[in-house]
């Protein structure tokens, strides 16, 4: 299995809702990442997990809450989002502490209404 699987592919949520994005990989990668991508812009790093511990938080607002329950799974919990948070949310994984490439999922398209 050489894929990163993200669910759901599309999500529409209201500003008072709570929802979660899920990311899964079975490549034995011990580093996992969340990126946010607005239309026509490059992906922006949000969080990095290394060996299931949060190692980098790029000053992301607390309405985004990451979780890494085990080495294969990464969640992003969403609460009280704003319309400007609408974007493509990308998950990626890689070998930790190595220089090989990252594997990205195809993303979750989030719309906040």
Note the residues at the interface with another protein (CB under 8 A): 4, 31, 33, 42-45, 48, 50, 55-56, 90, 92, 94, 96-97, 99-107
- Closer by beta carbon to another protein, 18 or else 98: 98
Any residues with CB less than 8 A from the CB of 103 and at least 6 apart, and which? 2, 3, 4, 25, 27, 29, 92, 93, 94
Whose Cβ is closer to another protein: residue 16's or residue 101's?
101
Q: What is the closest distance, in whole angstroms, from the C-beta atom of residue 2 to another protein in the complex?
A: 11
The least CB distance from residue 45 to another protein, in Å, is 6
Q: How far is the CB of 78 from another protein (least distance, A)?
A: 19
- Secondary structure class of 105 (helix, strand, coil): coil
**Closer by beta carbon to another protein, 17 or else 52:** 52
- Least Å distance, CB 15 to another protein, is 26
Residues whose CB falls within 8 Å of the CB of residue 35, separated by 6 or more in sequence, listed in order: 43, 44, 45, 46, 89, 90, 91, 92, 104
| 90 contacts 44 by C-beta, under 8 angstroms | no
What 8-state DSSP symbol labels residue 71? T
In this complex, which beta carbon is closest to another protein, that of residue 2 or of residue 16? 2
């Amino acid at each position: 299995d050489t894929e990163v699987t993200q669910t759901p592919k599309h999500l529409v949520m209201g500003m008072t809702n709570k929802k979660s994005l899920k990311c899964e990989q079975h490549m034995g990668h011990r580093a996992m990442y969340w990126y946010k991508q607005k239309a026509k812009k490059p992906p922006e790093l949000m969080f990095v997990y290394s060996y299931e511990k949060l190692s980098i938080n790029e000053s992301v607002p607390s309405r985004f809450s990451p979780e890494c329950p085990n080495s294969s799974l990464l969640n992003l919990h969403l609460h009280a989002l704003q319309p400007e948070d609408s974007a493509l949310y990308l998950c990626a994984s890689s070998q930790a502490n190595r220089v090989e490439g990252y594997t990205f999922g195809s993303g979750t398209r989030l719309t906040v209404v």
